[in-house]
Structure 1
Amino acid sequence: MAREADARGRSSRTPRACLSGLVVVGALAVGLPAREAAAGNRETNPLSNEAALAGGAVTALGRDTGTIYYNPAGLGAVRRTQFNLSTQAGQFRARIVPYAAVADLPGGTRDAATLSSLQALVMPSSLAVTRHLGRGVTVGVGYFAPDYDYYDYNAVLRGAGGTTEYDARVQVDGWIYRYHAGPAIGWQPHPRFRIGMTLFGTYGWQREETRIWIDTASGTPESRTDATRTYDYDSKRSVFGGEVVVGLQWEFVKNLHLGLTFRTPRFVAFEASRSYELNTSNVDRPGDGDDEYKFEFDDSPEPSARGRVAPMRLTAGVAYALPRRRGWISGEMDYSPGLKLSARDINIRPLWNVRAGARLRTAERLYFGIGVFSDRDDEVHTHKFPHFRINYYGLTTGVEFFSPVRLGKGERARSIVFSTCIAVRYSYGQGSAAQIAFDLRDAPAGNVGYEIGTVNRVAFHLFAGHLGMGTYF
């Protein structure tokens, strides 16, 4: 494994690969294909109005449909039928990795290029409904998208070193998302105590396309060596599995609430994956009979895997409910142990995150929210290109409006209440990213090598808008 490189691109390297022909391009495949998207940041999207307002700190006093995901015990306090739709109204992700692609040239010089991805995303993040059955029992069902990402990285390296001219390009596109859907139940056996459980089926999908082109020309026009390398990789992976969430909420002191949740390890019941790999090389040397051309194509399906892909998680929170239903202030922390599975290329470190927020009633039908949160990456190290390891810290704020409509006599409910939530969210991320280093120092002989290193002090920015709509019967 390569040791880390500093932000100026000086990398400490693994033993140098200096191969010729198709072997070089095949070697690139060892470090480049995507592995399963099991690790990373846990929840990049708020999954309910309350979570969007309070930075996700809803374990102890959450009451809307988001409790199906965060803490199903909160359903026990819900007495009205709820229907809620939340969406990321607009999300902008700016990710720039300096020195992500470098080329070492004859004569000891080095060129570097920046890999960047600027993407705008719009997606529905949750859709849920709950219904009170009586005797303190409320049931619900929901769909949630805690993780969604698309990236489009590209870099171009072009120049000359000594008598060698070269043109190298890297293009990586990726789509990653994970969905959770299932039923939940919450029960309030005592006015100050609630318990609940959610059974989730999960579906994850990942696709990554990687393309690399290298073209070099060395020597004089009379004695010139041309070398061309191309590498194309296309990977698709679908994962079906599940997890269970159990929780409680307890008002152990007047207006002071404790929330606890246990999320079981997420497991894979079925996996389907396939990859396509194309490697070509061409070396044109001076003289007759010295040319080389090689071609290789592989589309073998990868073996299906089952078992754990994420560790269990414990979350504990405390919230203070302000008198006269003026809102609440909450703080919480979650922890998950590490998980290392060599057969599945999973290496997750022990991880903790913290969140704190407030949801305050500023008018009869208006709530204001503000929150802070961390969303730290659980990967131990970055060793695949172009993957990154980023710890996010952010701020969220917004408002929620309630509009009641009175019903006529004889209706089950006295009114229908419509809610609209508008929130904004900013996250600053800092960490490390993978680096690919092309070794062209022996290009005059038609040889090209590569290494996978690491660039530190990488900064990412994420801006998001949240739009949530709800109906209460």
Structure 2
Amino acid sequence: TTVEQSTQIGGGSDVSSFSVSSLAESTGVGLRLGAGLQWDVVAGLVLGVGLATPSARIFSRYVEDALVSVDTPSTRLFDAGGVEEQRFGWEWEHPFRARLGLAYQFDEDGWISLDGDILTPLANADLQVDRRIDFNLRLGGIVGITPSWALGAGIFTDRSGETSPLASDFYGGTLGVRYRNERALDPQKEEEDRLVFETTVALRYAYGSGSASTLIIDVDDAGEIYLSDGVTSFTAHEIGLHVGGALRF
């Protein structure tokens, strides 16, 4: 991950500037087990259940290099530093997860589904993990408009479950269309195998709110810069465009 930020204060010959550039690399090895099953309750109605054990981190390595530059009318500072950490052991990092889903197909090109998951609390001070019990829900469906075109939509939650002051939760929805083109390998035979080409274009929107860390810069009358950390609330609007394709035969 590369992070760069710079700030200028003042104008003319009294400009003070502060910039930070950092490059971080994180590597980890862990273990998690999962299992699931699917049951056809009645024609067109399917129930799915999935379970995942808490995940354990066995090895992790974190390396960060940073450059700091401060330039004021009275001071010019350039500093470089780095951090390297390695951890071995058995440390719980992600909680137990249970997922339950239900899908109903009401015609050849139409279905609706609802699924949710629940995560148990987990606390690990060494990894700065402190999670409360939490859940997320997703509801979506697709309906055929013509033999070639289908319309899909859905809503979802993306809650963090973290008790940290820097946690944030998102809620959103999606809307998309799918185009299908079927080609028979031998047009003279109705039962001949077919190639099915599909293209999907979808728009995703999510609204989020929470808190984020801040860097507070103070400059005194002599032009000296003082740095301190803080926390501020924020709201976010995420918009994404997704394009996908599939080939089935």
Per the TM superposition, whether the score is higher than 0.5 is yes
Task: Say whether 1:393 aligns with 2:171.
Answer: yes
Task: List runs of 5+ in structure 1 lacking aligned partners.
Answer: 1-149, 171-210, 212-231, 286-291, 383-387
TM-score, with normalisation over the residues of structure 2?
0.79
Q: Distance in 2 between matches of 1:153 and 1:295?
A: 15
Task: Say whether 1:369 aligns with 2:152.
Answer: yes
Task: Say whether 1:462 aligns with 2:238.
Answer: yes
Written as runs of structure 1 = structure 2, the 5 A alignment for 1:173-188 is none
Match of 2:100 in 1: 316
Q: Distance in 2 between matches of 1:293 and 1:152?
A: 22
Count of matched residue positions in the alignment of Structure 1 and Structure 2:
243
Task: Measure how far apart 1:363 and its partner are.
Answer: 2.0
Q: Distance in 1 between matches of 2:146 and 2:215?
A: 55
Letter in 1 for 2:101: G
Match of 1:423 in 2: 202
Written as runs of structure 1 = structure 2, the 5 A alignment for 1:412-451 is 414-440=193-219, 444=222, 449-451=226-228
Q: Distance in 1 between matches of 2:99 and 2:10?
A: 53
Task: Measure how far apart 1:434 and its partner are.
Answer: 1.4
Q: Residue 343 of structure 1 aligns to a residue in which SS?
A: helix
Task: Measure how far apart 1:326 and its partner are.
Answer: 4.2
Q: Residue 381 of structure 1 aligns to a residue in which SS?
A: coil
Change (3 A) 1:244 1:362: farther
Written as runs of structure 1 = structure 2, the 5 A alignment for 1:59-458 is 154=5, 156-159=7-10, 167-170=16-19, 211=20, 233-277=22-66, 298-299=81-82, 301-306=84-89, 307-322=91-106, 324-382=107-165, 388-408=166-186, 414-440=193-219, 444=222, 449-456=226-233, 458=234
CA contact (8 A) 1:275 1:302 kept: no
Letter in 2 for 1:378: G
CA contact (8 A) 2:2 2:22 kept: no
Change (3 A) 1:415 1:296: closer
Task: Measure how far apart 1:281 and its partner are.
Answer: 8.3
Q: Residue 126 of structure 2 aligns to a residue in which SS?
A: helix
Alpha carbon RMSD of aligned pairs, Å? 3.5
Task: Measure how far apart 1:346 and its partner are.
Answer: 2.4
Change (3 A) 1:437 1:335: same
Change (3 A) 1:252 1:295: same
Q: Distance in 1 between matches of 2:244 and 2:70?
A: 53
Percent sequence identity is 25
Cα deviation digits, residues 87-107 of structure 1 (max 9, x gap): xxxxxxxxxxxxxxxxxxxxx
Instruction: Name the structure where strand makes up a greater proportion of residues.
Output: 2
Letter in 2 for 1:250: W
Cα deviation digits, residues 212-249 of structure 1 (max 9, x gap): xxxxxxxxxxxxxxxxxxxx644321223353432222
Q: Residue 379 of structure 1 aligns to a residue in which SS?
A: coil
Q: Distance in 2 between matches of 1:320 and 1:279?
A: 57
Cα deviation digits, residues 183-230 of structure 1 (max 9, x gap): xxxxxxxxxxxxxxxxxxxxxxxxxxxx1xxxxxxxxxxxxxxxxxxx
Higher RCO (C-alpha 8 Å, min separation 6):
1
TM-score, with normalisation over the residues of structure 1?
0.45
CA contact (8 A) 1:438 1:449 kept: yes
Letter in 2 for 1:400: R
Q: Distance in 1 between matches of 2:223 and 2:193?
A: 84
Task: List runs of 5+ in structure 2 lacking aligned partners.
Answer: none
Q: Distance in 2 between matches of 1:282 and 1:151?
A: 22
Match of 1:58 in 2: none
CA contact (8 A) 1:237 1:273 kept: yes
Instruction: Name the structure where helix makes up a greater proportion of residues.
Output: 1
Change (3 A) 1:294 1:393: closer
Letter in 2 for 1:310: H
Letter in 2 for 1:454: V
Q: Distance in 2 between matches of 1:367 and 1:424?
A: 15
CA contact (8 A) 2:109 2:143 kept: yes
